[in-house]
């Protein structure tokens, strides 16, 4: 068995098979179980290392050839695969609780498989094409059959598609830069093209207007999955660029531009979140602020960059899953996520509302929750730059204001009496998620032990 077959082909084929089954409960269980098993295999069985179980020798080979392209997953990729499929299993297990259509699991598995292929393919520039194919599969995930796509979905597809030619053309130019690094004009052109491509992929201001639009127009659980999956793999793709090309990571102008873009996203995301009166749009701007933090880490130029990125990415998947699940439960009650339609809903759905608030506070970097260790590490890395710290504080403070406004709306009512209207499946999933937020916040060393092999993925960035 080769690693690409195990972590790319099998989940992709499983997604196709699940698509043929209409049972919502079966699809959620099957998708979650497959992802959890793949995560455990990645965690405990190293790639390209022979293991002896009695008289049986087991070895997962690292590479496979497919249509002339090589797909390779090495030993260092094991922890990354465990994180990806572990978080994906939480999303798939939550499908039934969110009352999302069964095709969410099938398309979700195929999307994760394609995105995994994007980090395994060689030459690595083909990752841009795989990201585009995964983007195409997002459309049937968000838009019901025979329904016209909403404006936010159209903008999302347009921006993601525009990113591909910029990245592919910059990759071709980067080959020339490697051969002649003294050619400043080619270097500048390649840097500009690459920056534009990743600006579309990361939805850098002002290109993030589709995110709040989609949170209003499409199912919150499916959109939350999108906001977790695509930025996660885009981040890994971007780290690969920085690790491969020395002049990119040594360019002070480029790093400053990335840092400024990230800082602007953090500050604007937090401030816009504080001004919203729609719970879905608040989630959208919180996700934008988190993406800005990741870009800000890129610009730090520290040997701990890789660890800081993953210390931010792992809690992000859990936070967005809890928040999106809670929104899905509340939307079934009011059919709208406006403040005016959900006043006092905490008395009817106490578990969902409490879970949403905890996930929101975690993204804002509130102490004792999963988001706090990464925020603390970033602040410690920026102790000498008070101006950047100030704008990070502005963004996080804006998210806190939005969290307190959310809590105020949830408890704003003249009615008396509390009821538990969540199903036992919903209560279980939300309780597991919130417990994870507190565990990762109180015991961040759990993540540190998992990230011990992270620097081996990008060796040059860790030097």
How far is it, in rounded angstroms, from Cα 157 to Cα 149? 10
Residue 305: name the closest of 249, 358, 244 by CA. 249
**36-50, 153-167, 442-456: least confident range:** 442-456
Please, is 95 exposed, middle or buried when counting C-beta atoms within 10 Å of its C-beta (0-12, 13-18, 19+)? Answer: buried
Q: Rounded to two decimals, what is the model's pTM?
A: 0.91
pLDDT-based confidence at residue 183 (cuts at 50, 70, 90): low
How far is it, in rounded angstroms, from Cα 216 to Cα 152? 9
Note the Cα 377 to chain centre separation in Å: 20
Count of alpha carbons within 13 Å of 355, Cβ hemisphere only?
A: 29
Question: Over the chain, what is the mean pLDDT?
Answer: 85
Q: What average pLDDT does the segment 106-130 reach?
A: 85
Dihedral sign computed on CA atoms, order 376, 378, 381, 383: negative
Give yes or no for residue 275 having a pLDDT over 80: yes
pLDDT tens per residue across span 222-235: 899 999 998 998 89
How far is it, in rounded angstroms, from Cα 215 to Cα 226? 11
How far is it, in rounded angstroms, from Cα 433 to Cα 355? 8
pLDDT-based confidence at residue 291 (cuts at 50, 70, 90): very high
Could you tell me the CA-to-CA distances from 292 to 93, 162, 203, 324 in Å, in that order? 29, 21, 10, 20
Q: What average pLDDT does the segment 44-57 reach?
A: 72
For residue 186, the model assigns a pLDDT of 66
Residue 202: name the closest of 154, 171, 170, 162 by CA. 162
pLDDT-based confidence at residue 346 (cuts at 50, 70, 90): confident
Please, is 182 exposed, middle or buried when counting C-beta atoms within 10 Å of its C-beta (0-12, 13-18, 19+)? Answer: exposed
């Amino acid at each position: 068995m080769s690693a690409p077959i195990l972590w790319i082909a099998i989940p992709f084929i499983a997604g196709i098979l699940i698509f043929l089954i209409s049972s919502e409960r079966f699809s959620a269980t099957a998708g979650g179980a497959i992802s959890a098993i793949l995560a455990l295999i990645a965690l405990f069985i190293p790639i390209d290392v022979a293991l002896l179980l009695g008289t049986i020798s087991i070895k997962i080979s690292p590479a496979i050839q497919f249509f002339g392209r090589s797909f390779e997953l090495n030993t260092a990729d094991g922890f990354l695969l465990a994180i990806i499929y572990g978080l994906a299993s939480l999303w798939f297990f939550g499908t039934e609780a969110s009352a999302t259509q069964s095709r969410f699991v099938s398309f979700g598995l195929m999307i994760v498989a394609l995105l995994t292929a994007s980090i395994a393919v060689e030459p690595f520039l083909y990752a841009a094409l795989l990201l585009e194919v995964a983007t195409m599969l997002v459309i049937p995930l968000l838009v019901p059959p025979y329904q016209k796509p909403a404006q936010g979905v159209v903008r999302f597809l347009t921006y993601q598609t525009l990113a591909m030619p910029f990245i592919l053309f910059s990759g071709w130019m980067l080959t020339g830069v490697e051969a002649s690094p003294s050619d400043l004009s080619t270097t500048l052109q390649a840097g500009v093209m690459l920056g534009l491509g990743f600006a579309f992929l990361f939805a850098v201001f002002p290109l993030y207007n589709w995110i709040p639009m989609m949170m209003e127009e499409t199912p919150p659980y499916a959109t939350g999955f999108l906001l977790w999956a695509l930025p996660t793999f885009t981040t890994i793709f971007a780290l690969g660029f920085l690790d491969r090309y020395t002049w990119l990571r040594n360019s002070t102008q480029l790093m400053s531009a990335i840092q400024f873009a990230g800082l602007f996203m953090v500050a604007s995301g937090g401030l816009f979140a504080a001004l919203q009166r729609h719970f879905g749009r608040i989630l959208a701007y919180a996700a934008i602020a988190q993406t800005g933090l990741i870009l800000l880490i890129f610009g730090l130029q520290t040997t701990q960059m890789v660890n800081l990125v993953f210390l931010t990415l792992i809690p992000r998947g859990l936070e967005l899953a809890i928040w999106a699940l809670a929104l899905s439960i509340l939307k079934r009650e009011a059919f709208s996520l406006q403040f005016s339609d959900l006043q006092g809903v905490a008395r009817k759905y106490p578990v969902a509302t409490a879970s949403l608030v905890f996930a929101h506070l975690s993204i804002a970097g509130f102490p004792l929750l999963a988001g706090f260790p990464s925020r603390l590490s970033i602040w410690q890395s920026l102790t000498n730059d008070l101006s950047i710290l100030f704008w990070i504080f502005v963004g996080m403070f804006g998210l806190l204001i939005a969290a307190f406004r959310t809590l105020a709306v949830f408890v704003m009512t003249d009615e008396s009496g509390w009821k538990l209207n969540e199903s036992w499946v919903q209560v279980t999933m939300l309780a597991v998620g919130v417990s994870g937020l507190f565990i990762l916040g109180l015991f961040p060393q759990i993540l540190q032990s998992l990230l011990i092999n992270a620097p081996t993925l990008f060796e040059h960035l860790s030097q």
